[in-house]
């Protein structure tokens, strides 16, 4: 019994030792690349100047755009209401929703104050993957963030983020569904547009 | 403090909450009625009758967790409280949640029943005003005066004092590992952590805090949310979690150590200010990114709690 267990431990160590450096997580690597790229923009002293704010925003935006699948996010957030929309409506909604999400995301990035990002591995299930990340704050409270990705050719694109177990897309889905069923899709678009032009 | 005293404290607390805050909330509601988000009677009627409760029909993760504990299933308060037929409910749930085909093992939430929506929305507005008019200005001032390290220290101290709440819930959840870490954490932080102001257990021994509460324990036992309750001051909760909260108050040593009600209220208020000073901006972010902040907060609470029950 004891020997079997020892052997097992050895085997596990062996497998881990070989496998870990080889498969450092394909989707995790993508998240890491994007995060590092964004952080380097945020930390760049040359871009800290207020006059460069627009340029900085644009750079962050392009880094985010590259990794996020806005259409998939919108499709999931609208859920059953997505199929009922015309292609033009879909296109418009994707634009509005991604605008709102980018704003939210950019706002968070702007708040960055040297928190560390700890990568805690990935779980791949076919074409889907979850990358687990922990934001280590100085306030003795770590924030677990899960990125959900989908394989697109050779690339992995994010279609949902959950923070402390709260999925962003699920949250919007509940809101969208509530607004559409209680008033109308047109009203939702109106509210969304108002939200974006608010600032 | 004798048991009678504690009961009296809780009784009075609730009396204060319900007697003072309800009229204020409705007042705020009345004042805000002309504001940008009017709550039309149409909306209220629709929500009160049409929104299905927790969709236990289709993969509600909380129910999956509850599955092995069948004998307790009759505790589900949402059972039988639906006015629509099971078929209709199934169709409604299916319509909303079938569309995005999720890969296996993926969580997706339904909605939390909200029969008290008009009252909840009033309390939501009350809490919103409480935050922007009182809590935020106070916490911002406190923020300026007290350095962050000290505020984190206070957070740690309170967290250390409330160890019994987590320890008892670890035991109730038959999670002996977390009962062990909580005991160790308490011993280490009380001694080496200067009465709990430093989280030495985490820093030096990598013993992570186990955030356990009675609402979660009840959820693990298979008791459903019941329905959504946006409590004044305390914020988002549910029928189950409100019971859990009251139970946790009984497990909190502060309830027994501080016998004077004004001091107890002051201590809890101070704790709230300190917490707020460490999370300033979070609520603003939620409000800013949401189309309907009330629904956004409700859903965030629902998902957060479901996740807590799922991961145990």
Is some CB atom of chain A closer than 8 A to the CB atom of B284?
no
Q: Cβ B155–A171 below 8 Å, yes or no?
A: no
Residue A17 has pLDDT above 60, yes or no: no
* Spatial distance between the Cα atoms of B195 and B80, rounded to a whole number of angstroms: 50
Residue B86, classified by CB atoms within 10 Å of its CB into exposed (0-12), middle (13-18) or buried (19+), is exposed
More confident residue, B207 or A6: B207
Q: Cβ B289–A100 below 8 Å, yes or no?
A: yes
pLDDT, average across residues B128-134: 96
Give the closest of A79, A107, A188 to B100, CB-based.
A79
A181 φ, ψ (degrees, to nearest 5) = -70, -30
Q: What is the pTM of this model?
A: 0.75
Closest chain A CA to residue B148: A139
Query: B43: pLDDT confidence band, cut at 50, 70 and 90?
Result: very low
Exposed e or buried b for every residue in A20-31, given b needs 16+ CB within 10 A?
A: eeeeebbbbebb
Q: A9: part of which helix (H) or strand (E)?
A: helix A2-22
Q: Scanning the structure block, which residue is given the tokens 């009160």? A: B48
Give, as one character, the DSSP assignment of residue A68.
B
In B, which residues are within 8 Å of A164 by CB distance?
304, 307
Q: What is the ipTM of this complex?
A: 0.83
* pLDDT for residue A34: 92
Q: What are A147's strand-pairing partners?
A: A131, A161
* Spatial distance between the Cα atoms of A120 and A131, rounded to a whole number of angstroms: 7
Give the closest of A101, A139, A175 to B295, CB-based.
A175
Query: A98: pLDDT confidence band, cut at 50, 70 and 90?
Result: very high
Closest Cα of chain A to B26: distance in Å?
23
* Spatial distance between the Cα atoms of A132 and A147, rounded to a whole number of angstroms: 7
Is residue B276 a contact partner of residue B134, using CB atoms and an 8 Å limit? no
Exposed e or buried b for every residue in B255-266, given b needs 16+ CB within 10 A?
A: beebeeeeebee
Residue B105 has pLDDT above 50, yes or no: no
Q: Scanning the structure block, which residue is given the tokens 């889907």? A: A128
Closest chain B CA to residue A164: B304
Give the closest of A82, A139, A170 to B303, CB-based.
A170
* Spatial distance between the Cα atoms of A38 and A42, rounded to a whole number of angstroms: 6
Q: Scanning the structure block, which residue is given the tokens 């009784």? A: B11
Is some CB atom of chain A closer than 8 A to the CB atom of B291?
yes
């Amino acid at each position: 019994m004891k020997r079997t267990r020892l052997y097992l431990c050895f085997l596990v160590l062996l497998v881990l030792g070989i496998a870990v450096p080889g498969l450092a997580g394909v989707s995790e690597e993508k998240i890491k690349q994007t995060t590092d790229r964004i952080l380097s923009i945020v930390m760049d002293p040359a871009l800290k100047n207020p006059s460069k704010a627009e340029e900085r925003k644009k750079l962050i935006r392009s880094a985010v755009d590259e990794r996020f699948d806005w259409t998939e996010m919108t499709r999931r957030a609208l859920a059953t209401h997505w199929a009922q929309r015309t292609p033009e409506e879909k296109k418009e909604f994707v634009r509005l929703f991604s605008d709102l999400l980018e704003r939210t995301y950019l706002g968070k990035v702007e708040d960055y104050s040297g928190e560390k990002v700890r990568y805690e591995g990935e779980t791949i299930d076919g074409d889907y993957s979850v990358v687990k990340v922990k934001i280590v704050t100085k306030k003795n409270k770590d924030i677990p963030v899960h990125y959900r990705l989908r394989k697109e050719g050779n690339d992995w694109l994010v279609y949902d983020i959950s923070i402390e177990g709260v999925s962003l897309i699920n949250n919007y889905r509940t809101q969208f569904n509530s607004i559409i069923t209680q008033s109308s899709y047109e009203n939702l678009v109106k509210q969304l547009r108002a939200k974006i032009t608010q600032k | 403090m004798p048991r009678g005293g504690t009961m009296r404290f809780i009784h009075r607390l609730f009396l204060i909450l319900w007697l003072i805050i309800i009229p204020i909330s409705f007042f705020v509601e009345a004042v805000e009625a002309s504001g940008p988000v009017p709550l039309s009677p149409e909306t209220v009627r629709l929500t009160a009758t049409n929104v299905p409760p927790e969709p236990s029909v289709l993969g509600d993760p909380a129910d999956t967790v509850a599955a092995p504990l069948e004998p307790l299933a009759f505790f589900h308060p949402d059972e039988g409280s639906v006015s629509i037929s099971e078929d209709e409910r199934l169709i409604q749930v299916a319509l909303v949640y079938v569309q995005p085909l999720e890969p296996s093992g993926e969580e997706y939430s339904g909605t939390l029943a909200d029969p008290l929506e008009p009252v909840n929305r009033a309390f939501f507005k009350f809490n919103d005003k409480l935050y922007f008019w009182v809590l935020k200005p106070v916490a911002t001032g406190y923020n300026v005066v007290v350095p962050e390290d000290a505020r984190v220290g206070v957070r740690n101290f309170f967290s250390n004092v409330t160890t019994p709440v987590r320890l008892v819930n670890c035991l109730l959840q038959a999670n002996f590992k977390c009962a062990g870490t909580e005991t160790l954490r308490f011993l280490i932080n009380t001694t080496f952590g200067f009465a709990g102001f430093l989280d030495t257990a985490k820093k030096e021994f990598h013993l992570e805090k186990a955030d356990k509460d009675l609402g979660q324990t009840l959820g693990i036992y298979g008791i459903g949310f019941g329905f959504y309750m946006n409590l004044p001051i305390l914020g988002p909760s549910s029928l189950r979690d409100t019971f859990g909260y009251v139970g946790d108050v009984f497990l909190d040593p502060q309830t027994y150590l501080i016998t004077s009600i004004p001091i107890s209220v002051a201590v809890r208020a101070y704790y709230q200010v300190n917490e707020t000073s460490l999370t300033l901006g979070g609520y603003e972010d939620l409000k800013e990114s949401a189309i309907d902040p009330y629904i956004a907060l409700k859903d965030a609470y629902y998902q957060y709690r479901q996740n807590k029950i799922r991961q145990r």
